[in-house]
Amino acid sequence: EADIYQTPRYLVIGTGKKITLECSQTMGHDKMYWYQQDPGMELHLIHYSYGVNSTEKGDLSSESTVSRIRTEHFPLTLESARPSHTSQYLCASSERRYSAHTDTQYFGPGTRLTVL
């Protein structure tokens, strides 16, 4: 059982609000990821981190920002939510900093965001 948590699980919010999606892992993993996924579509990497104080943008352009002040915590923030941000957001972690292409990724349960 993976120890990676996301809150909230579901969020319905109005346009223009600032939101933070929380992700925490207790496995001491170096690398963490945020993916965005729409129904029936691929997981798209929007942000990742190699470790504390490291954040990188993924392949999919995103208006969100992330921070990694502590190893276990990797929150994602949207400064001003829009209906186009409606999606499922999955957080994941893997053990080693530079071996992500073979390391297993452990996923949280996801946050389903709806922006009205």
Partner 1 sequence: ILNVEQSPQSLHVQEGDSTNFTCSFPSSNFYALHWYRWETAKSPEALFVMTLNGDEKKKGRISATLNTKEGYSYLYIKGSQPEDSATYLCAFSTDSNYQLIWGAGTKLIIKP
Which residues make up the interface to partner 1 (CB under 8 A)?
Answer: 2, 4, 35, 40-45, 48, 58-59, 90, 98, 100-102, 104-110
Smallest separation (angstroms) from partner 1 to the CB of 87: 14
Smallest separation (angstroms) from partner 1 to the CB of 4: 8
Angle at 80 between CA 48 and CA 109, to 5 degrees: 45
* Smaller CB separation from partner 1, 75 or 110: 110
